[in-house]
Amino acid sequence: MNVDECIKEYGDIIEWIPFHRLVDIQIIGKGRFGSVFSATWLGGKRNNTKQCTSFIVALKTLPGSQRNFLREFRNYMKLRSMCRELEVYGLTRTLMTSI
């Protein structure tokens, strides 16, 4: 599975988020399984008819290969289906090595 297939599989739940739409990125924590950042998502999540206003989201890095990343992402999506309080809005990618 690749990123495009992930977006197709979960397209009714998530979307591709261009990284340049995330601003004011600040690290919240770092652990064995990646880092967590806060950011403002310009334009916000989509809904039935229009985009919401900008709002603050958490960004979770999933280090490692794309295959490992996608496996971890699918685990998050399975968890989300059991726990509606965990919101997963989409995927993004940065070329910055500091994030």
Residue 49 CA to residue 32 CA, distance in Å, equals: 39
CA pair distance 17, 20, nearest whole angstrom: 8
Report the distance separating Cα 16 and Cα 10, nearest Å. Answer: 11
Binding site for ATP, by residue number, is 60
Residue 1 · residue 65 · CB < 8 Å: no
- Residue 7 in contact with residue 91, Cβ under 8 Å? yes
Residues contributing to the annotated binding site: 60
